């Protein structure tokens, strides 16, 4: 495997252009600080990888720092399990939130006291007020895109009264929904986010870190910009849906800068297009639904687009970084086909994965004219395009496993693999002619019989005299290594499951996981635990990092050799 710290060339994009320009102008005195701010309400997915590669990549290439901030201001859905999974994933992607011996790991919940203090400052300066309208009245009075909002009757409350109320909200003297703290901006703004947005709401919820200390919780728009400013982030990169929130981001920070709380320049929010990937769902809420309803086997199910799932499936970190590089960063929303991710994996593995033969759906082939108990060694290259990696050796014997699909008793026109009266080459071995089939009482084929040609062995003189079209893989049945192989396919049968009528789980692919008992070339024993391998003609595979043991091998199919998939084929 490539080194985890292998550096890709910095990819040009409009955000890097802004950052480089700021560096040139000395806007931040040469300092660059970005942040990756996931909410710990689920596992990270491939969309987050785009944001991670962007934020940590810029920091790395500009001599800056990227903070990992757990944006944990939503008490109900967050947990330590998710925090740990997030840290694991960022580390796995090869990035670090340490710089010059300092750890830049932050929790928005650590800012609760500061955020509260700033709220009092905003009240004192007449920039915020406690609104006591019912939630319903607030909603109605907010107006619409075509009509301005109507000011709350509480909008003109005196700062002292607002302060007293906010303190009582904090002390837990009111019920949820009785009061909120709002910014006093502009009820007629064309941007609905500026119509006196809510900054704090009362919430009697247990927080996984602060416990029951707080009865009021800050809203995302309030806590996020302040967290950025407190950490002295220079460029706050987020996805496009926050574009309309940017004026509010700037308003809050400017109000606090005017109050002398923050120095200018203030962090700059820049939006980019989120990653949308076909044949899967990405929002943590939907992923949680799949996990909780046990449609998949946990957050690291190899079929999920979570980074834990992709890692378990066998995706390499270099393939994920390559993918992020290829999709780039732009301001235009687009859909990326799953095949782009799969191709990045193939392009990463093709030049380095060793080759082996594996029979996934075995049927026995008996070579009737081959002596029992005798083996002959066959040779093949470890990697066909890299002779320096040498060759591998495996035994040929009287009884072999071949792929059921490579045999056909009554072949259709154009079928040139194994069928009665026909010859194929057993890769790296001999040419064999099919002489018949053996069936059980139910008529099921239990074995295929053949005759081999002793002078046809691959690599020996005269082998080329045999002209055959079919070239099939095999393993010696007494020497092959048994393994459970999990054949994964796309999780959904349609490209945009989120747009499926009704429930998106209805579009789940029933054939997304198939488990087979396979026979592998003996050399599989010498693979390193996480070494990816190409099973010839089949695809790329890796040992399952959780379930595989030396006594019981379990392999996952990461991806087929070629693009293309169907519900019926494995």
Task: Return d(Cα 62, Cα 73) in angstroms, integer.
Answer: 30
Task: Return d(Cα 418, Cα 409) in angstroms, integer.
Answer: 8
Cα–Cα–Cα angle for 486, 529, 474, rounded to 5 degrees? 55
78 tagged catalytic: no
Residue with Cβ nearer Mg ion (39 or 196): 39
Residue with Cβ nearer ligand ATP (78 or 544): 78
Question: Minimum distance between the CB of residue 42 and Mg ion, rounded to whole angstroms?
Answer: 8
- Per CB under 6 A, the segment of 48-56, 261-269, 304-312, 559-567 that binds ligand ATP is 48-56
Strand runs labelled E in 385-509: 391-396, 399-403, 423-426, 431-439, 445-452, 470-472, 474-476, 481-488
The 452-471 site mask, x for binding ligand ATP (CB under 6 A), equals --------------------
- Per CB under 5 A, the segment of 14-22, 35-43, 64-72, 165-173 that binds Mg ion is 35-43
| Binding status of residue 282 toward ligand ATP by CB under 6 A | yes
Q: Check if the beta carbon of residue 396 is closer than 8 Å to that of residue 376.
A: yes
- Number of residues binding to ligand ATP, judged by CB under 6 A: 15
| Binding status of residue 37 toward ligand ATP by CB under 6 A | yes
| Binding status of residue 283 toward ligand ATP by CB under 6 A | yes
Residue with Cβ nearer Mg ion (285 or 517): 285
C-alpha torsion 491→493→499→502, nearest 10: -90
| Binding status of residue 50 toward ligand ATP by CB under 6 A | yes
Exposed (0-12), middle (13-18) or buried (19+): which is 468, by Cβ within 10 Å?
A: middle
Which of 274, 389, 404, 537 is the binder for ligand ATP (CB under 6 A)? 274
- Per CB under 6 A, the segment of 42-50, 308-316, 424-432, 466-474 that binds ligand ATP is 42-50
| Neighbour-count burial for 28-59, b at 16+ CB within 10 Å, e otherwise | beeebbbbbbbbbbbbbbbbbbbbbbbbbbbb
Residue with Cβ nearer ligand ATP (48 or 423): 48
Task: Return d(Cα 66, Cα 99) in angstroms, integer.
Answer: 9
Q: Check if the beta carbon of residue 206 is closer than 8 Å to that of residue 212.
A: yes
3-state secondary structure of 365: strand
| Contacted by 283, from ligand ATP, Mg ion, none: CB < 5 to 8 Å by type | ligand ATP
Q: Check if the beta carbon of residue 54 is closer than 8 Å to that of residue 47.
A: no
| Binding status of residue 39 toward Mg ion by CB under 5 A | yes
Catalytic residue among 16, 35, 39, 50: 39
The structure tokens listed for 150 are 């109507």
Catalytic residue among 27, 99, 142, 274: 274
274 tagged catalytic: yes
313 tagged catalytic: no
- Per CB under 6 A, the segment of 102-110, 282-290, 432-440, 508-516 that binds ligand ATP is 282-290
- Per CB under 5 A, the segment of 38-46, 59-67, 184-192, 343-351 that binds Mg ion is 38-46
- Number of residues binding to Mg ion, judged by CB under 5 A: 1
Residue nearest to ligand ATP (CB): 47
Residue with Cβ nearer ligand ATP (65 or 434): 65
Question: Minimum distance between the CB of residue 559 and ligand ATP, rounded to whole angstroms?
Answer: 21
Find all residues with CB under 8 Å of 159, minimum gap 6, and list them: 123, 124, 126
Residue with Cβ nearer ligand ATP (38 or 302): 38
Question: Minimum distance between the CB of residue 74 and ligand ATP, rounded to whole angstroms?
Answer: 10
Question: Minimum distance between the CB of residue 39 and Mg ion, rounded to whole angstroms?
Answer: 5
Q: Which of 61, 5, 13 lies closest to 34, judged by CA?
A: 61
3-state secondary structure of 449: strand
| Contacted by 238, from Mg ion, ligand ATP, none: CB < 5 to 8 Å by type | ligand ATP
Q: Which of 245, 240, 198 lies closest to 73, judged by CA?
A: 198
Task: Return d(Cα 567, Cα 570) in angstroms, integer.
Answer: 8
Task: Return d(Cα 526, Cα 512) in angstroms, integer.
Answer: 29
Question: How many CA atoms within 13 Å lie on the side-chain side of 137?
Answer: 13
| Contacted by 536, from Mg ion, ligand ATP, none: CB < 5 to 8 Å by type | none
Residue nearest to Mg ion (CB): 39
Question: Minimum distance between the CB of residue 67 and ligand ATP, rounded to whole angstroms?
Answer: 12
The 227-256 site mask, x for binding ligand ATP (CB under 6 A), equals -----------xx-----------------
Task: Return d(Cα 235, Cα 237) in angstroms, integer.
Answer: 6
Residue with Cβ nearer Mg ion (39 or 521): 39
- Per CB under 6 A, the segment of 33-41, 147-155, 160-168, 174-182 that binds ligand ATP is 33-41
The length of the chain is 570
Q: Check if the beta carbon of residue 547 is closer than 8 Å to that of residue 475.
A: no
Residue with Cβ nearer Mg ion (242 or 535): 242
- 265 upstream amide cis, omega within 30 of 0: yes
Question: Minimum distance between the CB of residue 523 and ligand ATP, rounded to whole angstroms?
Answer: 40
| Contacted by 69, from ligand ATP, Mg ion, none: CB < 5 to 8 Å by type | none
Catalytic residue among 35, 157, 182, 284: 284
Strand runs labelled E in 418-512: 423-426, 431-439, 445-452, 470-472, 474-476, 481-488
Q: Give the count of beta carbons closer than 10 Å to the beta carbon of residue 484.
A: 16
- Consecutive H or E run containing 3: none
Which of 157, 284, 425, 532 is the binder for ligand ATP (CB under 6 A)? 284
| Binding status of residue 51 toward ligand ATP by CB under 6 A | yes
Q: Check if the beta carbon of residue 104 is closer than 8 Å to that of residue 32.
A: no
- Per CB under 6 A, the segment of 43-51, 91-99, 150-158, 348-356 that binds ligand ATP is 43-51
Give residues in contact with Mg ion (CB under 5 A): 39
Enumerate binding residues for ligand ATP (CB under 6 A). Answer: 37-39, 47-48, 50-51, 71, 238-239, 274-275, 282-284
Active site residue ranges: 39, 274, 284
């Amino acid at each position: 495997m490539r080194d985890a710290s292998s550096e890709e060339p910095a990819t040009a994009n409009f955000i890097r252009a802004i950052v480089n320009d700021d560096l040139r102008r000395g806007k931040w005195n040469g300092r660059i600080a970005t942040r990756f701010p996931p909410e710990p309400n689920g596992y990270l997915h491939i969309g987050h990888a785009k944001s991670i590669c962007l934020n940590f990549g810029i920091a790395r290439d500009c001599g800056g720092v990227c903070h990992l901030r757990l944006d944990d201001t939503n008490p109900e859905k967050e947990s330590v399990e998710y925090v740990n999974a997030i840290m694991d994933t960022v580390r796995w992607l090869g990035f670090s939130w340490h710089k010059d011996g300092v750890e830049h790991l932050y929790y928005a919940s650590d800012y609760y006291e500061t955020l509260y203090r700033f709220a009092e400052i905003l009240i004192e300066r007449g920039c915020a007020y406690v609104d006591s309208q019912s939630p319903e009245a607030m909603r109605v009075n907010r107006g619409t895109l075509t009509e301005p909002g109507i000011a709350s009757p509480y909008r003109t409350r005196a700062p002292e009264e607002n302060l007293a109320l906010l303190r009582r909200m904090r002390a837990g003297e009111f019920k949820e929904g009785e009061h909120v703290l709002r910014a006093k901006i502009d009820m007629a703004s064309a941007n609905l986010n500026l119509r006196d947005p809510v900054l704090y709401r009362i919430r009697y919820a247990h927080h996984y870190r602060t416990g029951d200390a707080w009865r009021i919780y800050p809203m995302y728009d309030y806590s996020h910009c302040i967290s950025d400013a407190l950490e002295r982030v220079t460029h706050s990169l987020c996805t496009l849906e926050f574009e309309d929130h940017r004026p509010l981001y700037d308003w809050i920070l400017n109000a606090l800068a005017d109050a002398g709380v923050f120095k200018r320049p203030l962090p700059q929010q820049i939006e980019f297009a989120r990653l949308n990937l076909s044949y899967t769902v990405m929002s943590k809420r939907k992923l949680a639904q799949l996990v909780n309803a046990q449609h998949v086997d946990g957050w690291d199910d190899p079929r999920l687009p979570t980074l834990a799932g992709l890692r378990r499936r066998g995706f390499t970190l270099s393939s994920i970084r390559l993918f992020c590089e290829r999709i780039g960063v732009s301001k235009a929303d687009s859909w990326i086909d799953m095949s782009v991710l799969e191709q990045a994996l193939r392009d990463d593995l093709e030049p380095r994965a060793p080759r082996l033969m594996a029979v996934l759906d075995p049927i026995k082939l008996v070579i009737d004219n081959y002596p029992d108990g005798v083996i002959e060694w066959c040779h093949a290259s470890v990697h066909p395009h890299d002779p320096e990696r040498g060759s591998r050796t495996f035994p040929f014997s009287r009884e072999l496993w071949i792929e059921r699909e490579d045999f056909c008793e009554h072949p259709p026109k154009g079928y040139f693999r194994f069928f009665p009266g026909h010859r194929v080459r057993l890769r790296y071995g001999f040419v064999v002619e099919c002489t018949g089939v053996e069936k059980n009482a139910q008529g099921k084929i239990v074995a295929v019989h053949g005759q081999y040609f002793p002078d046809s062995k691959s690599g020996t003189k005269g082998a080329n005299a045999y002209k055959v079209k079919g070239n099939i893989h095999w393993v010696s049945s007494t020497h092959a290594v048994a393994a459970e192989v999990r054949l994964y396919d796309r999780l959904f049968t349609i490209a945009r499951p989120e747009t499926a009528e009704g429930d998106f789980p209805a579009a789940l692919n029933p054939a997304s996981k198939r488990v087979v008992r396979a026979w592998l070339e003996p050399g599989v024993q010498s693979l390193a635990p996480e070494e990816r391998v190409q099973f010839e003609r089949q695809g790329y595979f890796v040992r399952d990092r959780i379930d595989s043991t030396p006594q019981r091998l379990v392999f996952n199919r990461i991806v087929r050799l070629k693009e293309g998939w169907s519900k019926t084929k494995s």
